[in-house]
Amino acid sequence: MALSLKHRTHKESLWRFLLLVAILGAYFGYISWKFDAATGAWLAALSWSFFVLGTPVADGGFIVAFPVRLLFGTRMIWTQVVVWGVAVAINLAALSIAPSAYDETGLTRLLLAILTQPWPFWSILALSALGTALSIWFGDEMMDVTKHHERSKSHRHGFTHKIIAVVTLGALTIAAYYHLLSELGVKIPGTLSMAGRQLDPD
């Protein structure tokens, strides 16, 4: 179905796209201004990959999948699969070529901690992938219908998506908390450090 601003679901999808572009554009503009061109480019790519891989909503992927859907009619869920692949490739390249780029911002340091600690932080990636898949699936549905009451997929699975989003964001908060404490050199009795070593109890 072609985009029509007469349809509420289409209009909301367009506004969501424009808002995400504005937010990410402002962030990437700041990064490019604060750092040199090479570092800024890496940070922009890594930050985008964090939103693709580490959050349970289709934010980073949606800004690519939405225009592709409009231009070529490709289902956004398939574009999202390609986006995931690109995000993974960016991080593999950064880890091999420019690992120091992760050290420049708190967001990229957290991303590095998640990527390099299979347990327990890869569970965040798995939950994020599931949440994003549902989110982008709902996004496709919004382009297929004209009114919200016609969104049967969202009505059936929306609560599941909310639960996944809450659990993932909670896990991200815990990961950020432990990462911050690790950077500050604070040891927590009976827990694992960010390097994966068992800390000595007090």
Contacting residues for 18 by C-beta, under 8 A, at least 6 apart: none
The percent of residues above 90 in pLDDT, for the chain, comes to 11
Q: Is 88 exposed, middle or buried (0-12, 13-18, 19+ CB in 10 A)?
A: middle
pLDDT digits (tens, 9 = 90+) for 61-106: 778 877 887 778 788 888 888 999 999 999 999 999 988 889 888 8
| pLDDT value at residue 151 | 52
Rg (CA), the chain: 19
Mean pLDDT of 153-177: 66
